[in-house]
Amino acid sequence: MGADRAKGLGTQSRRWLSTATCSFFLLRVLTAAHGSANQTVAVWDTEVQLREGFGYKDNLLYDPEAREHSSFFSTGLEASLSRFSNSGHTFLAMIDGEDIRYPSGETVDKEQTLFATLQYLHHGDDWKWAWNGTYVYQDQMFDSSATETNLSAVRALGHLIEMRPSLTRSLGPRHRLELQPVGARQLLEDPLDDYWEGGAQLTYGCAISAATDLALAYEYLGRPYDAREKTDADGFSTGEDGLTFHEHAASLAWRRYWDDQRKWRTLSKIRYERNLDNAAGYFNYHRYQFSHGMRFRHRAWEASLQFRLNYYDYDQQTASSDDDSRRHKFTSSVHARIERQWTKWLGSFLDYEYESSISNTTLDEYGVNVISAGMSLEF
pLDDT tens per residue across span 84-130: 887 788 999 999 999 999 999 999 999 999 999 999 999 888 899 99
Q: Which residues are within 8 A (CB) of 65 and not within 5 positions of it... i.e. 6 or more apart? A: none
d(Cα 347, Cα 374) in Å, to the nearest integer? 9
pTM comes to 0.87
Question: β-pairing, 195-207 with 212-224?
Answer: antiparallel
Structural domains of the chain, count: 1
Find the mean pLDDT for residues 188-197: 95
pLDDT of 295 strictly over 80 = yes
Task: For residue 235, give Cα distances in angstroms to 168, 321, 327.
Answer: 42, 12, 13
Task: Kindly report the CATH number assigned to the domain that includes residue 312.
Answer: 2.40.160
Find the mean pLDDT for residues 238-247: 95
pLDDT of 5 strictly over 90 = no
d(Cα 309, Cα 288) in Å, to the nearest integer? 8
Buried b / exposed e over 35-56, threshold 16 CB at 10 Å, is eeeeeeeeeeeeeebebebebe
pLDDT of 374 strictly over 90 = yes
Q: Which residues are within 8 A (CB) of 299 and not within 5 positions of it... i.e. 6 or more apart? A: none
Closest by Cα among 15, 14, 101, 13 to 55: 101
Task: For residue 5, give Cα distances in angstroms to 12, 13, 123.
Answer: 5, 8, 33
CB-CB contact of 162 with 10 (8 Å): yes
pLDDT at 322: 84
pLDDT at 218: 98
Domain extent at residue 281: 3-378
What is the helix (H) or strand (E) element at residue 28, kind and residue range?
Answer: helix 19-32
pLDDT of 31 strictly over 50 = no
pLDDT at 41: 64
Find the mean pLDDT for residues 52-70: 94
Least confident of 28-32, 206-210, 225-229: 28-32
Find the mean pLDDT for residues 261-268: 96
Find the mean pLDDT for residues 334-357: 97
pLDDT at 38: 53
